[in-house]
């Protein structure tokens, strides 16, 4: 899908270092950790995702769901108010429901675990959208509409009538850079890294903080883990 080159190399060295993936094992298996304790529901990751990947109006590869019944509204836990968010993009499952059902193998898992979408092969049957339990795939129903009349993204726009989805910013990964949503999170709620390396920050966080997978009972085995909030933030010291 990406036929544009990320201009990361043109960045000043300091900002380049900030987005670097860092040391990885010989055969990395990419994963992400989302810390629900740190997420403030600001939608920065969603917005930069739209810009980085040139996602048209009305379509989101990445979204922030509010835990509870109403958007950006607290919910009750044991008689007390609490407020948490569930940032949601492709879970890059180990056992993806979507790749199995694609009749033309337009969606597939890479060696490093990234679930990819080939919009040049996609026939637009939307079976993957039916199969995905997370509702993170988006279809080009009509002609793409964008707020600007030029393309903002670092990857090629997708044609009408095809499926698209989060790619873990695969064009950045090849440059040794973390995905845009991770890079841009002001609360540093997203952590990206190598799940094959037991000492990587993602592996340690999943172990230490009891990282859980979304809709675990469906058996899709996501590579995105969520860290449950440990305590309620209060005003007391």
Partner 1 sequence: MSATNTASAAASGGAIAGRQHRSPARLIWLILLGLGLAAGLGAWGYQLSQGLASTNMRNPTMWGLYITLFMYFVGLSAGGLIVASAGRLFGGVRLKPIVRLAVLEATVAVVMAALMLLPDLGRPDRVWHLFRYPHFTSPLIWDITIVTIYLIISLVYVWVYTRADNARRGSRLAFGTGSSSADDARDERMKWVLAAVGLPAAILLHSITAWIFGLQIARGFWYTALMAPLFITSALVSGTGLMILLALVVRRVGRISFHDDLIAYLAKLLAVFVAVEAFLVLCEMLTAAYAGAAFEADPISRLLTGHFSPLFWFEIVIGLLVPFVLLIVPRWRLRMAWVTVASVLAVIGIFAHRLNIVLNGLTYATVPYPPGVSIGTAQPLGTDSFAQHLFYYPSWVEWLVALGILCLGALMFTAGAILLPLREKTHEESPAAQA
Which part of the chain contacts partner 1 (CB under 8 A), choosing from 20-28, 99-107, 171-179, 198-206?
A: 99-107
Q: Confirm or reject binding of residue 231 to partner 1 (CB under 8 A).
A: no
Please name the residues in contact with 57: beta carbons below 8 A apart, sequence gap of 6 or more.
144, 145, 146, 147
Size of the site for partner 1 (CB under 8 A): 55
Give the separation between CA 20 and CA 93, rounded to whole angstroms.
Answer: 23
Q: How far is the CB of 79 from partner 1 (least distance, A)?
A: 21
Q: Confirm or reject binding of residue 204 to partner 1 (CB under 8 A).
A: no
Q: Confirm or reject binding of residue 11 to partner 1 (CB under 8 A).
A: no
Contact predicate 202/125, CB 8 Å: no
Give the separation between CA 232 and CA 37, rounded to whole angstroms.
Answer: 9
Which part of the chain contacts partner 1 (CB under 8 A), choosing from 109-117, 148-156, 215-223, 225-233?
A: 215-223
Q: Residues interacting with partner 1, by CB under 8 A?
A: 56-60, 63, 65-71, 86, 88, 97, 100-106, 121-127, 129-135, 137-143, 145, 159-163, 214-215, 218-220
């Amino acid at each position: 899908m990406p036929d544009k080159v990320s201009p990361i190399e043109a960045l000043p060295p300091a900002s380049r270092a900030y987005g670097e993936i860092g040391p990885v094992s010989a055969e990395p298996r990419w994963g992400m950790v989302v810390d629900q304790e740190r997420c403030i529901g600001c939608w920065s990751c969603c917005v930069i995702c739209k810009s980085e990947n040139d996602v048209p109006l009305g379509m989101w590869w990445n979204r922030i769901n509010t835990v509870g019944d109403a958007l950006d509204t607290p919910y009750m836990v044991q008689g007390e108010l609490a407020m948490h968010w569930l940032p949601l993009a492709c879970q890059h499952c180990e056992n993806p429901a979507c790749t199995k059902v694609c009749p033309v193998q337009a969606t597939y898992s890479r060696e490093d675990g990234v679930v990819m979408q080939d919009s040049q092969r996609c026939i637009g049957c939307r079976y993957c959208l039916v199969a995905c339990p997370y509702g993170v795939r988006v279809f080009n129903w009509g002609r793409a509409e964008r707020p600007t009349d030029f393309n903002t993204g670092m990857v090629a726009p997708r044609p009408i009538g095809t499926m698209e989805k989060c790619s873990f910013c695969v064009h950045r990964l090849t440059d040794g850079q973390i995905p845009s949503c991770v890079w841009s999170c002001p609360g540093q709620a997203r952590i990206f890294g190598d799940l094959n390396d037991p000492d990587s920050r993602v592996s340690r966080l999943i172990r230490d903080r009891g990282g859980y997978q979304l809709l675990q009972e469906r058996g899709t085995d996501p590579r995105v883990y969520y860290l449950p909030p440990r305590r309620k933030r209060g005003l007391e010291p």
